[in-house]
């Protein structure tokens, strides 16, 4: 994984989200607003901490100890970069490996502004191959629908 932090895709490194003002149909005027970006850390995302991420997605107790977790709570809405990344990798690995065959639509929501998303996709594929022996189970299942 790369060692450099990258600029947030939402605030573009400014730490603020600018929303232009407008006038409603009823004639009410809404001014421009600037709100702090809650998705990043001072305009940037830190590099992926592979050890921490793997530690989050692996089970530490029970019959699955040392294997990919059987369940995991979504990090959607928490603004926790590490938790969002871990959930995304976990969910996509299970999907690509054939364990969860429903489309992982919501998994993308937590990392949509993350400039390291391509690396997270590659990591999810690697986890699927290591855990389930394949990263193509979902593609085979959904190929008719997706073309």
**Structural domain boundaries in the chain:** 6-146
19-74-62 Cα angle (round to 5): 160
40: number of Cβ within 10 Å: 26
Q: Looking at residue 146, what is its pLDDT?
A: 64
| C-beta of residue 106 within 8 angstroms of C-beta of residue 87 | no
pLDDT of residue 106: 87
CB contact at 8 A, 122 and 85: no
Q: Tens place of pLDDT for every residue, the chain, 147 residues?
A: 556 899 999 999 999 999 999 999 999 999 999 999 998 999 999 999 999 999 999 998 888 888 899 999 888 878 899 999 999 999 999 999 988 888 888 888 889 999 999 999 999 999 999 999 988 888 777 776 666
Residues 63 and 91: their CA atoms lie apart, in Å, by 20
Residue 20: predicted pLDDT: 95
How large is the angle between the packed helices 50-57 and 81-97, nearest 10 degrees?
A: 60
User: Residue 103 has what pLDDT?
Assistant: 83
Please give the pLDDT value at position 145: 66
Q: What's the confidence (pLDDT) of residue 3?
A: 65
Is the Cβ–Cβ distance between 85 and 48 less than 8 Å? Answer: yes
Strands 33-36 and 44-45: unpaired
Q: What is the pLDDT of residue 26?
A: 95
CA-CA distance, 86 to 35, in Å (whole number)? 27
Q: Kindly report the pTM of this predicted structure.
A: 0.86
């Amino acid at each position: 994984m790369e060692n450099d932090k990258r600029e947030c895709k939402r605030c573009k490194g400014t730490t603020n989200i600018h929303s232009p003002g407008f006038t409603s149909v009823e004639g009410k005027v809404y001014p421009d607003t600037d709100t702090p970006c809650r998705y990043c850390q001072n305009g940037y995302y830190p590099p992926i901490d592979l050890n921490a991420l793997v530690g989050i997605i692996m089970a530490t107790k029970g019959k699955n100890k040392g294997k990919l977790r059987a369940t995991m709570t979504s990090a959607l809405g928490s603004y926790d970069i590490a938790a969002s990344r871990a959930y995304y990798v976990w969910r996509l690995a299970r999907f690509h490996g054939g364990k969860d065959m429903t489309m992982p639509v919501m998994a993308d929501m937590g990392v949509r502004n993350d400039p390291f998303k391509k690396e997270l996709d590659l990591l999810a594929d690697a986890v699927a191959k290591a855990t389930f022996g394949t990263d193509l189970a979902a593609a085979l299942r959904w190929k008719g629908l997706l073309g």
